[in-house]
Chain A
Amino acid sequence: MSLAESPPQVAPGVGVDAEERARARAKRLEMVAKWTLPPLVMALVVLLWHLRVSCDPNLLCWLLGSEPVPHYIVPGPGRVADVLVGDFGLLMQGMQVTARISLLALFFAVIGGVGLAILFSLSKWTEMSFFPYAVILQVTPVVAIAPLIKIAVDDAFTAALIAAWIVAFFPILSNTTMGLKSVDHNLRDLYRIYGATRWQRLRYLEIPSALPYFLTGLRIGGTLSLIGAVVAEFVIGTSGTGLGLASMIQEAGYRLNIPRMFAALVIIAVLGIVIFAVLSFLSHLLLRKWHESAVSRET
Protein backbone atom coordinates (compact mmCIF):
# COMPACT_ATOMS: atom_id res chain seq x y z
CA MET A 1 0.00 0.00 0.00
CA SER A 2 1.29 3.43 -0.76
CA LEU A 3 1.10 6.33 1.61
CA ALA A 4 -0.94 8.13 -0.99
CA GLU A 5 -3.96 5.98 -0.34
CA SER A 6 -5.83 6.25 2.89
CA PRO A 7 -7.29 3.04 4.28
CA PRO A 8 -10.73 2.37 2.88
CA GLN A 9 -13.56 3.51 5.07
CA VAL A 10 -15.75 0.67 6.24
CA ALA A 11 -19.36 1.49 6.88
CA PRO A 12 -20.31 0.72 10.47
CA GLY A 13 -22.13 -2.56 10.93
CA VAL A 14 -20.54 -4.18 7.91
CA GLY A 15 -18.59 -7.19 9.20
CA VAL A 16 -15.82 -9.16 7.58
CA ASP A 17 -17.36 -11.40 4.94
CA ALA A 18 -17.00 -15.17 4.87
CA GLU A 19 -14.31 -15.20 2.21
CA GLU A 20 -12.13 -12.76 4.13
CA ARG A 21 -12.63 -14.77 7.32
CA ALA A 22 -11.58 -17.97 5.57
CA ARG A 23 -8.51 -16.23 4.18
CA ALA A 24 -7.52 -14.89 7.59
CA ARG A 25 -7.92 -18.35 9.08
CA ALA A 26 -5.82 -19.95 6.34
CA LYS A 27 -3.12 -17.36 6.92
CA ARG A 28 -3.02 -17.99 10.66
CA LEU A 29 -2.84 -21.72 10.07
CA GLU A 30 0.02 -21.24 7.65
CA MET A 31 1.94 -19.22 10.23
CA VAL A 32 1.55 -21.96 12.83
CA ALA A 33 2.45 -24.70 10.35
CA LYS A 34 5.57 -22.85 9.24
CA TRP A 35 7.02 -23.09 12.73
CA THR A 36 5.63 -26.44 13.86
CA LEU A 37 6.02 -28.67 10.79
CA PRO A 38 9.84 -28.68 10.55
CA PRO A 39 10.34 -29.75 14.22
CA LEU A 40 7.62 -32.37 13.76
CA VAL A 41 9.40 -33.82 10.75
CA MET A 42 12.63 -33.83 12.76
CA ALA A 43 10.96 -35.66 15.64
CA LEU A 44 9.49 -38.20 13.25
CA VAL A 45 12.85 -38.89 11.60
CA VAL A 46 14.54 -39.33 14.97
CA LEU A 47 11.79 -41.68 16.07
CA LEU A 48 12.10 -43.80 12.91
CA TRP A 49 15.86 -43.81 13.31
CA HIS A 50 15.51 -45.02 16.88
CA LEU A 51 12.98 -47.71 16.00
CA ARG A 52 14.96 -48.98 13.04
CA VAL A 53 18.27 -49.12 14.90
CA SER A 54 17.16 -50.52 18.22
CA CYS A 55 14.67 -53.09 16.95
CA ASP A 56 13.70 -53.70 20.49
CA PRO A 57 10.89 -55.83 19.09
CA ASN A 58 8.72 -53.24 17.39
CA LEU A 59 6.29 -52.96 14.51
CA LEU A 60 8.67 -51.25 12.10
CA CYS A 61 11.32 -53.96 12.30
CA TRP A 62 8.69 -56.65 12.14
CA LEU A 63 7.28 -55.07 8.98
CA LEU A 64 10.72 -54.69 7.41
CA GLY A 65 11.74 -58.08 8.74
CA SER A 66 15.02 -56.58 9.90
CA GLU A 67 17.43 -57.25 12.71
CA PRO A 68 18.81 -54.67 15.17
CA VAL A 69 21.76 -52.66 13.77
CA PRO A 70 24.94 -52.96 15.84
CA HIS A 71 25.62 -49.66 17.58
CA TYR A 72 29.20 -49.55 16.22
CA ILE A 73 27.75 -49.25 12.71
CA VAL A 74 24.81 -46.92 13.24
CA PRO A 75 24.34 -45.69 16.79
CA GLY A 76 20.82 -44.82 17.88
CA PRO A 77 19.79 -41.27 18.62
CA GLY A 78 20.07 -41.98 22.35
CA ARG A 79 23.77 -42.83 22.11
CA VAL A 80 24.48 -39.77 19.99
CA ALA A 81 22.69 -37.61 22.54
CA ASP A 82 24.75 -39.20 25.31
CA VAL A 83 27.96 -38.28 23.50
CA LEU A 84 26.67 -34.78 22.81
CA VAL A 85 26.25 -34.31 26.54
CA GLY A 86 29.21 -36.34 27.73
CA ASP A 87 31.80 -34.98 25.27
CA PHE A 88 30.30 -31.50 25.24
CA GLY A 89 33.52 -29.77 26.28
CA LEU A 90 35.57 -31.57 23.66
CA LEU A 91 33.01 -30.92 20.95
CA MET A 92 32.85 -27.24 21.84
CA GLN A 93 36.64 -27.03 21.55
CA GLY A 94 36.44 -28.48 18.07
CA MET A 95 33.52 -26.23 17.25
CA GLN A 96 35.50 -23.17 18.25
CA VAL A 97 38.34 -24.06 15.91
CA THR A 98 36.02 -24.77 12.99
CA ALA A 99 33.98 -21.66 13.67
CA ARG A 100 37.12 -19.56 13.89
CA ILE A 101 38.39 -20.87 10.56
CA SER A 102 34.99 -20.27 8.90
CA LEU A 103 34.44 -16.79 10.28
CA LEU A 104 37.99 -15.60 9.64
CA ALA A 105 37.81 -17.02 6.12
CA LEU A 106 34.52 -15.21 5.60
CA PHE A 107 35.95 -11.99 7.02
CA PHE A 108 38.94 -12.06 4.67
CA ALA A 109 36.67 -13.14 1.81
CA VAL A 110 34.52 -10.04 2.38
CA ILE A 111 37.57 -7.78 2.47
CA GLY A 112 39.15 -9.43 -0.57
CA GLY A 113 35.92 -9.87 -2.52
CA VAL A 114 34.55 -6.39 -1.95
CA GLY A 115 37.95 -4.75 -2.33
CA LEU A 116 38.64 -6.49 -5.60
CA ALA A 117 35.08 -5.84 -6.85
CA ILE A 118 35.52 -2.11 -6.20
CA LEU A 119 38.90 -2.19 -7.90
CA PHE A 120 37.29 -3.95 -10.88
CA SER A 121 34.57 -1.32 -11.08
CA LEU A 122 37.12 1.48 -10.94
CA SER A 123 39.26 -0.02 -13.64
CA LYS A 124 37.94 -2.11 -16.48
CA TRP A 125 41.49 -3.12 -17.37
CA THR A 126 42.05 -4.65 -13.96
CA GLU A 127 38.84 -6.61 -14.30
CA MET A 128 39.75 -7.91 -17.74
CA SER A 129 43.19 -8.91 -16.48
CA PHE A 130 42.28 -10.63 -13.23
CA PHE A 131 38.68 -11.84 -13.33
CA PRO A 132 39.52 -14.99 -15.32
CA TYR A 133 41.98 -16.01 -12.60
CA ALA A 134 39.35 -15.57 -9.92
CA VAL A 135 37.18 -17.94 -11.95
CA ILE A 136 40.01 -20.47 -12.28
CA LEU A 137 40.55 -20.33 -8.52
CA GLN A 138 36.87 -20.98 -8.04
CA VAL A 139 36.40 -23.87 -10.47
CA THR A 140 39.44 -25.80 -9.22
CA PRO A 141 38.12 -28.08 -6.45
CA VAL A 142 39.46 -26.99 -3.08
CA VAL A 143 40.09 -30.64 -2.15
CA ALA A 144 42.69 -30.69 -4.89
CA ILE A 145 44.33 -27.43 -3.85
CA ALA A 146 44.39 -28.06 -0.11
CA PRO A 147 47.29 -30.57 -0.06
CA LEU A 148 49.42 -28.07 -1.99
CA ILE A 149 48.59 -25.35 0.50
CA LYS A 150 49.53 -27.72 3.27
CA ILE A 151 52.98 -28.20 1.74
CA ALA A 152 53.53 -24.49 1.27
CA VAL A 153 52.16 -23.39 4.64
CA ASP A 154 53.47 -25.06 7.77
CA ASP A 155 50.76 -24.04 10.16
CA ALA A 156 47.68 -26.28 9.75
CA PHE A 157 45.31 -23.56 10.95
CA THR A 158 46.60 -21.03 8.44
CA ALA A 159 46.50 -23.61 5.66
CA ALA A 160 42.88 -24.47 6.46
CA LEU A 161 42.07 -20.79 6.60
CA ILE A 162 43.49 -20.18 3.13
CA ALA A 163 41.55 -23.14 1.71
CA ALA A 164 38.28 -21.94 3.25
CA TRP A 165 38.96 -18.41 2.02
CA ILE A 166 39.36 -19.60 -1.56
CA VAL A 167 35.90 -21.15 -1.46
CA ALA A 168 34.12 -18.25 0.26
CA PHE A 169 35.79 -15.49 -1.72
CA PHE A 170 34.38 -16.01 -5.18
CA PRO A 171 30.60 -15.65 -4.61
CA ILE A 172 31.25 -12.41 -2.75
CA LEU A 173 33.49 -11.11 -5.52
CA SER A 174 31.19 -12.05 -8.40
CA ASN A 175 28.00 -10.87 -6.71
CA THR A 176 29.49 -7.55 -5.65
CA THR A 177 31.00 -7.00 -9.09
CA MET A 178 27.61 -7.69 -10.64
CA GLY A 179 25.95 -5.32 -8.16
CA LEU A 180 28.36 -2.48 -8.81
CA LYS A 181 27.57 -2.80 -12.50
CA SER A 182 23.80 -2.94 -12.22
CA VAL A 183 23.27 0.72 -11.47
CA ASP A 184 20.24 2.32 -13.12
CA HIS A 185 21.71 3.99 -16.23
CA ASN A 186 19.50 7.05 -15.82
CA LEU A 187 20.87 7.57 -12.32
CA ARG A 188 24.35 7.25 -13.78
CA ASP A 189 23.50 9.98 -16.30
CA LEU A 190 22.06 12.12 -13.54
CA TYR A 191 25.29 11.88 -11.56
CA ARG A 192 27.22 12.86 -14.68
CA ILE A 193 25.02 15.86 -15.35
CA TYR A 194 25.53 17.08 -11.81
CA GLY A 195 29.28 16.67 -12.18
CA ALA A 196 29.72 13.96 -9.54
CA THR A 197 33.29 12.83 -8.88
CA ARG A 198 34.24 9.16 -9.29
CA TRP A 199 34.38 8.81 -5.52
CA GLN A 200 30.91 10.34 -5.06
CA ARG A 201 29.47 8.03 -7.69
CA LEU A 202 30.99 5.02 -5.98
CA ARG A 203 29.92 6.03 -2.50
CA TYR A 204 26.42 7.41 -3.06
CA LEU A 205 25.34 5.36 -6.05
CA GLU A 206 27.27 2.20 -6.81
CA ILE A 207 27.83 0.86 -3.31
CA PRO A 208 24.16 1.23 -2.22
CA SER A 209 23.04 -0.32 -5.54
CA ALA A 210 25.39 -3.24 -4.98
CA LEU A 211 24.35 -3.86 -1.38
CA PRO A 212 21.56 -6.41 -2.08
CA TYR A 213 23.86 -8.32 -4.43
CA PHE A 214 26.69 -8.25 -1.92
CA LEU A 215 24.41 -9.57 0.82
CA THR A 216 23.36 -12.48 -1.39
CA GLY A 217 27.02 -13.21 -2.02
CA LEU A 218 27.71 -12.95 1.69
CA ARG A 219 25.05 -15.53 2.52
CA ILE A 220 26.44 -17.95 -0.05
CA GLY A 221 30.00 -17.21 1.06
CA GLY A 222 29.09 -17.73 4.71
CA THR A 223 27.85 -21.27 4.19
CA LEU A 224 30.66 -22.02 1.74
CA SER A 225 33.28 -20.89 4.24
CA LEU A 226 32.06 -23.59 6.62
CA ILE A 227 32.16 -26.18 3.87
CA GLY A 228 35.63 -24.95 2.95
CA ALA A 229 36.77 -25.18 6.55
CA VAL A 230 35.47 -28.74 6.93
CA VAL A 231 37.01 -29.91 3.66
CA ALA A 232 40.31 -28.26 4.56
CA GLU A 233 40.34 -29.94 7.95
CA PHE A 234 39.74 -33.31 6.38
CA VAL A 235 42.59 -32.88 3.94
CA ILE A 236 45.03 -30.89 6.06
CA GLY A 237 44.24 -31.63 9.66
CA THR A 238 45.08 -35.29 9.81
CA SER A 239 44.46 -36.57 13.28
CA GLY A 240 46.66 -35.21 15.97
CA THR A 241 46.97 -31.65 14.70
CA GLY A 242 44.19 -30.63 17.02
CA LEU A 243 42.00 -29.00 14.42
CA GLY A 244 38.25 -28.69 14.60
CA LEU A 245 35.12 -30.75 14.19
CA ALA A 246 36.02 -32.34 10.88
CA SER A 247 39.32 -33.61 12.23
CA MET A 248 37.36 -34.89 15.18
CA ILE A 249 35.08 -36.85 12.86
CA GLN A 250 38.11 -38.31 11.13
CA GLU A 251 39.85 -39.21 14.37
CA ALA A 252 36.69 -40.67 15.92
CA GLY A 253 36.36 -42.78 12.76
CA TYR A 254 39.81 -44.26 13.26
CA ARG A 255 38.84 -45.14 16.81
CA LEU A 256 35.46 -46.55 15.73
CA ASN A 257 33.82 -44.02 18.04
CA ILE A 258 30.82 -43.77 15.75
CA PRO A 259 28.50 -41.86 18.13
CA ARG A 260 31.08 -39.09 18.39
CA MET A 261 31.23 -38.86 14.58
CA PHE A 262 27.49 -38.31 14.58
CA ALA A 263 27.68 -35.81 17.41
CA ALA A 264 30.33 -33.75 15.61
CA LEU A 265 28.22 -33.86 12.48
CA VAL A 266 25.24 -32.51 14.39
CA ILE A 267 27.34 -29.63 15.71
CA ILE A 268 28.60 -28.79 12.20
CA ALA A 269 25.02 -28.69 10.92
CA VAL A 270 23.96 -26.42 13.78
CA LEU A 271 26.93 -24.15 13.11
CA GLY A 272 25.95 -23.89 9.44
CA ILE A 273 22.38 -23.05 10.34
CA VAL A 274 23.51 -20.36 12.79
CA ILE A 275 25.84 -18.74 10.23
CA PHE A 276 23.10 -18.71 7.61
CA ALA A 277 20.48 -17.38 10.01
CA VAL A 278 22.70 -14.57 11.30
CA LEU A 279 23.62 -13.48 7.78
CA SER A 280 19.99 -13.63 6.63
CA PHE A 281 18.97 -11.51 9.58
CA LEU A 282 21.71 -9.01 8.85
CA SER A 283 20.56 -8.81 5.24
CA HIS A 284 16.99 -8.27 6.36
CA LEU A 285 18.03 -5.47 8.73
CA LEU A 286 19.96 -3.64 6.04
CA LEU A 287 17.36 -3.95 3.31
CA ARG A 288 14.03 -3.91 5.11
CA LYS A 289 13.37 -0.23 4.47
CA TRP A 290 13.71 -0.20 0.73
CA HIS A 291 14.49 -3.44 -1.05
CA GLU A 292 11.71 -5.55 -2.55
CA SER A 293 13.23 -8.76 -1.22
CA ALA A 294 12.97 -7.62 2.40
CA VAL A 295 9.85 -5.50 2.36
CA SER A 296 6.78 -7.27 3.62
CA ARG A 297 3.92 -7.02 1.19
CA GLU A 298 0.36 -6.45 2.18
CA THR A 299 -2.51 -8.27 0.45
Chain B
Amino acid sequence: MDGTPALAGRAPLLTLQSVGKTFGRDVEALRGMSLEIREGDFISLLGPSGCGKSTALRLIAGLMHPTAGALRWEGQRSDGALGVVFQEPTLMPWATVEDNVWLPLRLKGRGRGAVRDDVLAALKLVGLEKFARAYPRELSGGMKMRVSIARAMVTRPKLILMDEPFAALDEITRFRLNNDLLEMKAKIGCTVVFVTHSVFESVFLSDRIVVMAARPGRVIHELEVDTPYPRSEVFRTSAEYAAHCRAASDALSQAIEMAA
Protein backbone atom coordinates (compact mmCIF):
# COMPACT_ATOMS: atom_id res chain seq x y z
CA MET B 1 0.00 0.00 0.00
CA ASP B 2 1.38 3.43 -0.75
CA GLY B 3 0.41 4.62 2.70
CA THR B 4 2.19 1.85 4.65
CA PRO B 5 5.12 3.04 6.72
CA ALA B 6 8.58 1.76 5.93
CA LEU B 7 9.24 -1.71 7.32
CA ALA B 8 11.43 -0.52 10.15
CA GLY B 9 8.92 2.01 11.44
CA ARG B 10 6.09 -0.41 12.11
CA ALA B 11 4.89 -1.24 15.59
CA PRO B 12 5.49 -4.82 16.72
CA LEU B 13 2.41 -7.06 17.00
CA LEU B 14 3.80 -10.43 17.99
CA THR B 15 7.30 -11.60 18.73
CA LEU B 16 8.50 -15.20 18.59
CA GLN B 17 11.48 -15.68 20.88
CA SER B 18 13.53 -18.80 20.04
CA VAL B 19 10.36 -20.81 19.79
CA GLY B 20 10.75 -24.58 19.54
CA LYS B 21 8.28 -27.44 19.37
CA THR B 22 9.08 -31.11 19.88
CA PHE B 23 6.43 -33.76 19.36
CA GLY B 24 6.66 -36.70 21.71
CA ARG B 25 10.22 -37.26 22.86
CA ASP B 26 12.29 -36.76 19.78
CA VAL B 27 10.40 -35.37 16.80
CA GLU B 28 11.71 -31.83 16.63
CA ALA B 29 9.31 -29.95 14.37
CA LEU B 30 10.68 -26.50 15.04
CA ARG B 31 13.89 -25.23 16.62
CA GLY B 32 14.79 -21.78 17.86
CA MET B 33 12.51 -19.71 15.63
CA SER B 34 12.76 -15.99 16.26
CA LEU B 35 10.57 -13.61 14.33
CA GLU B 36 9.12 -10.21 14.88
CA ILE B 37 5.74 -9.73 13.28
CA ARG B 38 4.87 -6.05 12.91
CA GLU B 39 1.62 -4.37 12.18
CA GLY B 40 0.88 -4.32 8.48
CA ASP B 41 3.47 -6.96 7.57
CA PHE B 42 2.86 -9.52 4.90
CA ILE B 43 5.16 -12.34 5.91
CA SER B 44 5.54 -15.56 3.94
CA LEU B 45 6.93 -18.68 5.53
CA LEU B 46 8.57 -20.48 2.62
CA GLY B 47 10.10 -23.93 2.76
CA PRO B 48 9.94 -27.60 1.79
CA SER B 49 7.46 -29.87 3.53
CA GLY B 50 8.45 -30.80 7.05
CA CYS B 51 10.23 -27.48 7.69
CA GLY B 52 7.88 -26.58 10.51
CA LYS B 53 6.05 -23.76 8.75
CA SER B 54 2.63 -25.16 9.57
CA THR B 55 3.80 -25.90 13.11
CA ALA B 56 4.83 -22.25 13.46
CA LEU B 57 1.39 -21.19 12.25
CA ARG B 58 -0.38 -23.49 14.70
CA LEU B 59 1.76 -22.11 17.52
CA ILE B 60 0.80 -18.57 16.59
CA ALA B 61 -2.86 -19.60 16.35
CA GLY B 62 -2.64 -20.91 19.90
CA LEU B 63 -3.62 -24.43 18.82
CA MET B 64 -0.56 -25.73 20.66
CA HIS B 65 2.05 -24.49 23.06
CA PRO B 66 5.78 -24.19 22.39
CA THR B 67 8.17 -26.65 24.01
CA ALA B 68 10.83 -23.96 24.24
CA GLY B 69 10.90 -20.18 23.93
CA ALA B 70 7.89 -17.90 24.06
CA LEU B 71 5.39 -15.95 21.99
CA ARG B 72 4.87 -12.38 23.11
CA TRP B 73 1.78 -10.50 22.01
CA GLU B 74 1.79 -6.74 22.14
CA GLY B 75 -1.31 -5.80 24.05
CA GLN B 76 -4.25 -8.11 24.61
CA ARG B 77 -4.80 -11.10 22.35
CA SER B 78 -8.55 -11.37 22.13
CA ASP B 79 -10.48 -14.03 20.22
CA GLY B 80 -11.42 -11.70 17.41
CA ALA B 81 -7.84 -10.57 16.85
CA LEU B 82 -7.03 -13.61 14.75
CA GLY B 83 -8.38 -14.94 11.48
CA VAL B 84 -7.40 -18.25 9.93
CA VAL B 85 -7.58 -19.68 6.42
CA PHE B 86 -6.65 -23.32 5.92
CA GLN B 87 -5.50 -25.15 2.81
CA GLU B 88 -9.02 -26.50 2.40
CA PRO B 89 -11.88 -23.99 2.41
CA THR B 90 -13.14 -25.76 5.57
CA LEU B 91 -16.72 -24.56 5.26
CA MET B 92 -19.68 -26.13 7.02
CA PRO B 93 -21.59 -27.83 4.17
CA TRP B 94 -24.96 -27.59 5.95
CA ALA B 95 -24.76 -23.81 6.31
CA THR B 96 -25.22 -21.15 3.66
CA VAL B 97 -22.34 -18.91 2.61
CA GLU B 98 -23.78 -16.17 4.81
CA ASP B 99 -24.00 -18.42 7.85
CA ASN B 100 -20.48 -19.71 7.32
CA VAL B 101 -19.15 -16.16 7.36
CA TRP B 102 -21.32 -15.36 10.37
CA LEU B 103 -19.69 -18.17 12.40
CA PRO B 104 -16.84 -16.27 14.14
CA LEU B 105 -19.31 -13.61 15.27
CA ARG B 106 -21.94 -16.16 16.22
CA LEU B 107 -19.45 -17.93 18.47
CA LYS B 108 -19.05 -14.65 20.31
CA GLY B 109 -22.78 -14.54 20.90
CA ARG B 110 -23.62 -11.98 18.22
CA GLY B 111 -27.04 -12.56 16.68
CA ARG B 112 -27.49 -12.91 12.94
CA GLY B 113 -29.52 -9.72 12.61
CA ALA B 114 -27.10 -7.61 14.64
CA VAL B 115 -24.10 -8.44 12.46
CA ARG B 116 -25.86 -8.79 9.12
CA ASP B 117 -24.09 -5.74 7.73
CA ASP B 118 -20.67 -6.96 8.84
CA VAL B 119 -21.28 -10.32 7.18
CA LEU B 120 -22.45 -8.74 3.95
CA ALA B 121 -19.51 -6.32 4.00
CA ALA B 122 -17.09 -9.24 4.33
CA LEU B 123 -18.82 -11.01 1.44
CA LYS B 124 -18.64 -7.86 -0.61
CA LEU B 125 -14.93 -7.63 0.12
CA VAL B 126 -14.38 -11.00 -1.54
CA GLY B 127 -16.91 -10.25 -4.28
CA LEU B 128 -19.51 -12.83 -3.28
CA GLU B 129 -22.35 -10.67 -1.96
CA LYS B 130 -24.68 -12.22 -4.54
CA PHE B 131 -24.04 -15.72 -3.20
CA ALA B 132 -25.00 -15.13 0.42
CA ARG B 133 -27.79 -17.69 0.24
CA ALA B 134 -25.90 -20.35 -1.71
CA TYR B 135 -24.60 -23.54 -0.15
CA PRO B 136 -20.86 -24.31 -0.36
CA ARG B 137 -21.43 -27.26 -2.69
CA GLU B 138 -22.86 -24.91 -5.29
CA LEU B 139 -19.63 -22.92 -5.49
CA SER B 140 -16.39 -23.51 -7.38
CA GLY B 141 -13.12 -24.17 -5.54
CA GLY B 142 -11.96 -20.57 -5.86
CA MET B 143 -15.28 -19.20 -4.62
CA LYS B 144 -15.22 -21.51 -1.61
CA MET B 145 -11.78 -20.17 -0.78
CA ARG B 146 -13.13 -16.64 -1.04
CA VAL B 147 -15.85 -17.51 1.47
CA SER B 148 -13.16 -18.87 3.75
CA ILE B 149 -11.24 -15.59 3.43
CA ALA B 150 -14.41 -13.58 4.11
CA ARG B 151 -14.94 -15.63 7.26
CA ALA B 152 -11.38 -14.87 8.40
CA MET B 153 -11.85 -11.15 7.75
CA VAL B 154 -15.35 -10.67 9.18
CA THR B 155 -14.05 -9.96 12.67
CA ARG B 156 -11.65 -7.34 11.25
CA PRO B 157 -8.72 -9.17 12.85
CA LYS B 158 -5.30 -7.67 13.37
CA LEU B 159 -3.59 -10.82 12.17
CA ILE B 160 -4.64 -13.35 9.55
CA LEU B 161 -2.90 -16.71 9.33
CA MET B 162 -3.05 -18.53 6.01
CA ASP B 163 -1.82 -22.08 5.59
CA GLU B 164 -1.18 -22.71 1.88
CA PRO B 165 -4.65 -21.46 1.06
CA PHE B 166 -4.31 -21.47 -2.72
CA ALA B 167 -2.21 -24.62 -3.15
CA ALA B 168 -5.14 -26.69 -4.43
CA LEU B 169 -6.41 -24.14 -6.93
CA ASP B 170 -5.61 -23.81 -10.62
CA GLU B 171 -3.10 -21.17 -11.66
CA ILE B 172 -5.56 -18.70 -13.17
CA THR B 173 -7.68 -18.71 -10.01
CA ARG B 174 -4.57 -18.55 -7.84
CA PHE B 175 -3.22 -15.48 -9.61
CA ARG B 176 -6.53 -13.71 -9.30
CA LEU B 177 -6.86 -14.55 -5.63
CA ASN B 178 -3.28 -13.34 -5.05
CA ASN B 179 -4.18 -9.94 -6.52
CA ASP B 180 -7.44 -9.77 -4.63
CA LEU B 181 -5.84 -10.81 -1.37
CA LEU B 182 -3.43 -7.86 -1.51
CA GLU B 183 -6.30 -5.53 -2.25
CA MET B 184 -8.39 -6.89 0.65
CA LYS B 185 -5.45 -6.70 3.03
CA ALA B 186 -4.96 -3.05 2.10
CA LYS B 187 -8.65 -2.36 2.63
CA ILE B 188 -8.92 -3.79 6.13
CA GLY B 189 -5.33 -3.03 7.07
CA CYS B 190 -4.41 -6.31 8.71
CA THR B 191 -1.20 -8.26 9.09
CA VAL B 192 -0.80 -11.55 7.24
CA VAL B 193 1.37 -14.58 7.92
CA PHE B 194 1.20 -16.78 4.86
CA VAL B 195 2.56 -20.31 4.60
CA THR B 196 3.49 -21.44 1.09
CA HIS B 197 5.90 -23.61 -0.82
CA SER B 198 5.67 -21.46 -3.93
CA VAL B 199 8.55 -19.04 -4.48
CA PHE B 200 6.53 -16.98 -6.97
CA GLU B 201 3.55 -16.62 -4.70
CA SER B 202 5.68 -15.59 -1.75
CA VAL B 203 7.56 -12.92 -3.74
CA PHE B 204 4.41 -11.49 -5.27
CA LEU B 205 2.54 -11.25 -1.99
CA SER B 206 4.93 -10.51 0.82
CA ASP B 207 7.24 -7.79 2.00
CA ARG B 208 9.20 -10.32 4.05
CA ILE B 209 9.97 -13.93 3.21
CA VAL B 210 11.13 -16.26 5.93
CA VAL B 211 12.87 -19.26 4.36
CA MET B 212 12.85 -22.40 6.46
CA ALA B 213 14.67 -25.74 6.31
CA ALA B 214 13.58 -29.15 7.56
CA ARG B 215 14.90 -31.71 10.06
CA PRO B 216 14.75 -29.90 12.38
CA GLY B 217 12.43 -27.14 11.18
CA ARG B 218 14.24 -23.83 11.46
CA VAL B 219 14.64 -20.41 9.88
CA ILE B 220 17.67 -20.12 7.62
CA HIS B 221 17.05 -16.85 5.77
CA GLU B 222 14.96 -13.76 5.91
CA LEU B 223 14.51 -11.80 2.66
CA GLU B 224 12.89 -8.46 2.13
CA VAL B 225 10.84 -7.69 -0.95
CA ASP B 226 10.97 -3.91 -0.97
CA THR B 227 8.71 -3.35 -3.97
CA PRO B 228 5.96 -1.02 -2.71
CA TYR B 229 2.29 -1.96 -2.75
CA PRO B 230 -0.06 -1.89 -4.56
CA ARG B 231 1.51 -4.53 -6.76
CA SER B 232 -0.22 -5.30 -10.00
CA GLU B 233 -0.01 -7.96 -12.70
CA VAL B 234 2.82 -5.87 -14.21
CA PHE B 235 4.98 -6.69 -11.22
CA ARG B 236 4.81 -10.37 -12.15
CA THR B 237 6.76 -9.74 -15.35
CA SER B 238 9.23 -7.15 -14.08
CA ALA B 239 12.97 -7.67 -13.77
CA GLU B 240 12.69 -6.73 -10.10
CA TYR B 241 10.27 -9.60 -9.53
CA ALA B 242 12.60 -11.99 -11.36
CA ALA B 243 15.53 -10.91 -9.20
CA HIS B 244 13.57 -11.44 -5.98
CA CYS B 245 12.40 -14.81 -7.22
CA ARG B 246 15.97 -15.84 -7.95
CA ALA B 247 17.09 -14.82 -4.47
CA ALA B 248 14.20 -16.65 -2.82
CA SER B 249 14.72 -19.65 -5.05
CA ASP B 250 18.42 -19.84 -4.14
CA ALA B 251 17.55 -19.64 -0.47
CA LEU B 252 14.99 -22.40 -0.91
CA SER B 253 17.44 -24.69 -2.74
CA GLN B 254 19.86 -24.15 0.09
CA ALA B 255 17.12 -25.10 2.53
CA ILE B 256 16.43 -28.28 0.59
CA GLU B 257 20.14 -29.15 0.47
CA MET B 258 20.51 -28.64 4.20
CA ALA B 259 17.81 -31.13 4.88
CA ALA B 260 19.18 -33.76 2.48
A-side residues, CB < 8 A to B, are 2-5, 184, 186-187, 189-196, 200, 204-205, 208, 211, 289-292, 295
Contacts and interface: CB of A to CB of B under 8 A. Distances in A.
Interface in B55-108: 61-63, 79, 82, 84, 86, 88, 90, 92-95, 103-104, 106-108
Contacts of A208: 92, 94-95
Contacts, number: 65
Contacts of B135: 289-290
B162 to A, nearest CB: 13
B143 interface: yes
A190 B84 contact: yes
Nearest to B87: A186
Contacts of B79: 193-195
B200 to A, nearest CB: 25
A187 B90 contact: yes
A295 B62 CA distance: 37
B229 interface: no
B138 interface: yes
B175 interface: no
A193 B63 contact: yes
Contacts of B241: none
B165 to A, nearest CB: 12
A23 B140 CA distance: 27
B108 A184 contact: no
A105 to B, nearest CB: 29
Given A193-B61, A204-B106, 14 more contacts: A2-B139, A2-B140, A3-B131, A5-B140, A184-B90, A186-B88, A187-B92, A190-B84, A190-B103, A194-B79, A194-B107, A289-B94, A290-B93, A290-B94
Contacts of A289: 94, 135
A190 B90 contact: yes
11 contacts: A3-B139, A4-B140, A5-B140, A186-B86, A186-B88, A187-B92, A193-B61, A193-B84, A194-B79, A204-B107, A290-B94
B161 to A, nearest CB: 9
A2 B135 CA distance: 10
A277 to B, nearest CB: 24
A213 to B, nearest CB: 13
Given A194-B79, A289-B135, A205 B143 contact: no
